[in-house]
């Protein structure tokens, strides 16, 4: 009697289960093909043509990523360049080399983003220029991973980090785009802004701000012709990361910048480089956030211990 009831139940459930299975398999297949085609569009075909002088004659870059100024790629596309960074000497070198290599007009503005009274200088430096592309690269991180309350000169550390990593991004977008009806803004956030990174907590939080700010702004202005892209790299071999030997997952700035520029217009939030996109997907979609935070803590505790040991030896 009991086995008869089970048989009837199974028979009754057979058709719905079949359709649930078929629907799931079809959905997964369509999703997979869609992701594959999207991936090919972004990472193989790219969107190299979008950034052109049709957006405006000038491109502005706030500092560089590693030793690479995105400005070189932009100058190659015919943009005149405004370079904004701290050291006038370094700015002069880059500006001379851009003029020699690409025969483009350049302008330099030397400011320290650690202070808040630099935006009038930038505004007057940019007056009358039609800025089509803005690259917000400026950013500082910790000297070494540290517990929040152990950071030396904590008050000035917090103010500088907020001024350089947050205020500069908002203020310069305002200065450059308040009268514009089209253009592209690349705000360099960080993969550290995708989830909290212990012992780099303030840096991670400022980069999360940049990501949210960029995505919100993109939604506000995309219909008015302004694309705002939030760029979230993992490690790139630069002075900031102290990585001397580039690898596939820790590329040179040149390689990273080349990959990143072809994602503009295709992704408004991007890791900018295919291996980083895979890392981003694994750490946000596959691994629970508590595990990511725990691993970040362990990794940075080990780095901190190594740094403090080395410092003691010297
Ligand atoms: N490298 C990575 O792995 C990585 C990963 C994720 C995100 N990012 C982000 O990418 C951006 C570039 O990082 P990076 O690795 O290229 O760093 P970097 O090699 O240390 O370069 C930072 C740039 O910012 C300038 N700068 C620093 N403080 C400044 C200030 N107070 N005023 C004006 N300019 C200032 C530096 O100018 P000086 O030459 O005068 O020092 C330099 O040009 C940052 O926003 C960073 O958060 C980097």
Distance CA 201, CA 300 (A): 11
* Residue 301 CB partners (closer than 8 Å, separation 6+): 145, 199
Element of type H or E holding 301:
helix 289-313
Ligand 1 centroid, distance to 304 Cα (angstroms): 21
> Which pLDDT belongs to residue 191?
97
Q: Which of 199, 198, 193 is CA-nearest to residue 144?
A: 199
> Which pLDDT belongs to residue 180?
75
Distance CA 140, CA 150 (A): 18
Interstrand relation of 226-231 and 183-188 (parallel, antiparallel or unpaired) = parallel
> Which pLDDT belongs to residue 179?
64
Q: Which of 58, 92, 95 is CA-nearest to residue 77?
A: 58
Dump pLDDT digits (tens) for 276-306: 999 999 999 999 999 999 999 999 999 999 9
Distance CA 207, CA 184 (A): 19
Cβ–ligand 1 distance for 278 under 6 Å, the answer: no
Q: Mark the ranges of the chain whose per-residue pLDDT is less than 50.
A: none
> Which pLDDT belongs to residue 66?
62
Element of type H or E holding 81:
strand 80-85
Distance CA 164, CA 85 (A): 11
Interstrand relation of 58-62 and 269-270 (parallel, antiparallel or unpaired) = unpaired
Q: 119 φ, ψ to 5°?
A: -75, -25
Ligand 1 centroid, distance to 141 Cα (angstroms): 8
Instruction: Pick left, alpha or beta for residue 18 (phi over 0 → left; psi -120 to 50 → alpha; otherwise beta).
Output: alpha
> Which pLDDT belongs to residue 181?
77
Cβ–ligand 1 distance for 241 under 6 Å, the answer: yes
Cβ–ligand 1 distance for 87 under 6 Å, the answer: yes
> Which pLDDT belongs to residue 65?
66
> Which pLDDT belongs to residue 242?
84
Q: Please, what is the end-to-end C-alpha distance for the chain in angstroms?
A: 83
Q: In the structure encoding, which two tokens stand for residue 152, read together?
A: 């030396």
**Which of 86, 164, 242, 250 should be mutated for ligand 1, with most atoms under 8 A from CB?**
86
């Amino acid at each position: 009697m009991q086995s008869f009831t089970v048989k009837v139940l199974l028979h009754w459930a057979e058709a719905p289960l079949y359709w649930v299975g078929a629907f799931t398999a079809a959905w997964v297949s369509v999703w997979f093909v869609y992701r594959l085609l999207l991936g090919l569009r972004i990472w193989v075909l790219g969107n190299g043509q979008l950034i052109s002088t049709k957006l405006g004659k000038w491109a502005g870059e706030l500092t560089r990523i590693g030793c690479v100024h995105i400005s070189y790629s932009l100058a190659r596309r015919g943009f005149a360049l405004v370079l904004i960074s701290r050291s006038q000497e370094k700015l002069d070198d880059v500006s001379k080399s851009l003029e020699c290599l690409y025969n483009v007009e350049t302008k330099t503005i030397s400011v320290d983003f650690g202070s808040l009274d630099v935006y009038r200088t930038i505004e007057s430096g940019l007056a009358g220029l039609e800025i089509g592309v803005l690259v917000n690269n400026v950013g500082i991180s910790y000297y070494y991973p540290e517990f929040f309350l152990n950071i030396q000169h904590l008050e000035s550390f917090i103010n500088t980090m907020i001024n350089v990593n947050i205020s500069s991004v908002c203020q310069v977008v305002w200065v450059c785009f308040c009268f514009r009806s089209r253009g592209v803004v690349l705000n360099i956030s960080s993969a550290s802004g995708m989830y909290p990174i212990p012992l780099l907590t303030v840096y991670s939080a400022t980069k999360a701000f940049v990501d949210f700010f960029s995505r919100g702004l993109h939604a506000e202005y995309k219909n008015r012709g302004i694309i705002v892209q939030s760029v979230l790299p993992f490690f790139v071999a630069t002075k900031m990361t102290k990585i001397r030997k580039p690898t596939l997952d820790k590329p040179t700035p040149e390689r990273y910048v080349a990959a990143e520029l072809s994602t503009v217009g295709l992704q408004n939030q991007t890791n900018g480089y295919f291996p980083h996109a895979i890392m981003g997907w694994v750490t946000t979609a596959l691994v629970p956030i508590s595990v990511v935070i725990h691993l970040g803590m362990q990794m940075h505790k080990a780095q901190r211990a190594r740094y403090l040991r080395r410092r003691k030896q010297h």
